[in-house]
Amino acid sequence: MQTDPQLIAIRYLVTRLRARVAAVRSGDPEAGALSLEWVAIAIVLVTAALALATFLAGKLGALESLIPN
């Protein structure tokens, strides 16, 4: 019997969430906090994703104009 990959992913995320909540509840002020590096990486990734989406939307529009009615 194979295990569903989505179930594995959900279990992993729930486990990570529980660990983060436990770290925050531990009382350590730096536990569970995001570092500046991770925030900067997230900003770069979101910006790159938006730029790629804009680029691909333009290319898709150009390709759609080639399809005859």
pLDDT for 10-66, tens place per residue?
Answer: 899 899 888 877 877 777 766 656 677 878 899 999 999 999 999 999 898 888 888
* CA neighbor of 51 nearest in space, from 39, 43, 41: 43
Query: Looking at residue 63, what is its pLDDT?
Result: 87
**Joined tokens for residue 37:** 């590096």
For the entire predicted model, the pTM comes to: 0.49
Query: Looking at residue 26, what is its pLDDT?
Result: 79
Domain ranges of the chain: 1-33, 34-69
Query: Looking at residue 32, what is its pLDDT?
Result: 58
Q: How far is CA 48 from CA 14, 41, 55, 69, in A?
A: 28, 11, 10, 34
